[in-house]
Amino acid sequence: MADEQTFESIPAHIRRAMTPEQAAVVRHQLARTPLGSDGAGADPVEAMRADYNDERAFWNEGGPQMVRTDNMTLPLAGASVPVRIHRPVDAETLPAIIFVHGGGFSVGNLDTHDRIQRVLAAESGAAVIAVDYSLTPEAVFPQALHEVAGAAAYFAARGAEHGIDPKRLAFAGDSAGAILSLTATLLLRDEPGVAVEAAGLSDDPSVGDPAGDSAFESIRSLLLYYGTYGLRDSATMRLYGGWWDGLSRNDLDDMLEAHYRGAQHEASPYVDPLTADYSKPVPPMFIVGAELDPLADDSRALDKVLGTFGRERELHLEEGALHSFLHYGRMMEATRDVLTWGAEYAAARFDDV
């Protein structure tokens, strides 16, 4: 029989280190009744997604109101990808943050992270373009990567048609969305033709250089929240993670295997961006980790690698917070802080000449 999942059953070194607000979130989550499945024949992936969507609904209530929100579908890397554009102000043209949601590559959508998107838009004054990339297990690496990079290439070429300044873009992502944001940027830099092709722009003379260099140059900053960046073992992986955050060692291994299908063991900067070539330029990065997250050392490692090559970055480790705390703005001031700081970081770099 599985151990009972209660707040008191969380290991003491984690439980006692939580801030009061984070502890209140965990208690709130434990009081919720999961949807469960509709019987033995229910598809486990669909049941997991339905429960995740139901759980996130509470956290997406409220938040900033947008002047306008547009929903559209883009053909990217052979898939029809839903895209949502939030506009916080009435302006003919806005810079834009391309938001890539987390969820272990297998759950999440435009709605599960909608409040996060709206806060980033309101606090930055920029539009937020959310990309609902294809999920695992239906799609595996590098499909989501190509879709995300393709979205950036598309708006760098066609943004003006949607009221977006094609020269002032940024990426933001949480968890799986953070590594997708970082690796999409590396793909735009090192293999831009792949992104241009994913966007369906290979034969478009208006794009200019078929290599698509302008798309990479349009990315002014990255906002990376508690991502996995390639570490397969670390002190924080040994100290933290379990049923309370869905990030036990088995959870992490299963997530990577389902998405990468063995490629997680390859030496590729698109799988392990800590090994990328940072002697070449990359945009400034705002890196946020959570102290009690098994992935916290990934954020520290990325900061260290970037610093070694003199790249502009800012690291913030939120004390007493768990993975996924970006969702909990209804109860956690820390959530509101790191979203505001990230939005301000992006806005400042939109203004850089």
Please list, in sequence order, all residues whose beta carbon lies within 8 angstroms of the beta carbon of residue 292, skipping any fewer than 6 positions away: 14, 17, 18, 22, 240, 320, 321, 322, 323
Q: What CA–CA distance (Å, rounded) separates 130 from 69?
A: 11
* The one catalytic residue among 132, 165, 293, 297: 293
* The one catalytic residue among 124, 175, 299, 324: 175
Structure tokens at 42: 């229910």
Burial class (CB in 10 A: 0-12, 13-18, 19+), 247: buried
- Length reported for the chain: 353
Annotated catalytic, 233?
no
Annotated catalytic, 162?
no
DSSP category for residue 163:
T
> Do 111 and 58 touch, CB atoms closer than 8 A?
no
Specify whether the backbone of 320 is left (phi greater than 0), alpha (psi in -120 to 50) or beta. left
Q: What CA–CA distance (Å, rounded) separates 235 from 226?
A: 15
Annotated catalytic, 293?
yes
Half-sphere exposure for 166 (CA within 13 Å, toward CB)? 17
* The one catalytic residue among 245, 323, 324, 327: 323
Report, as residue numbers or ranges, the catalytic residues.
175, 293, 323
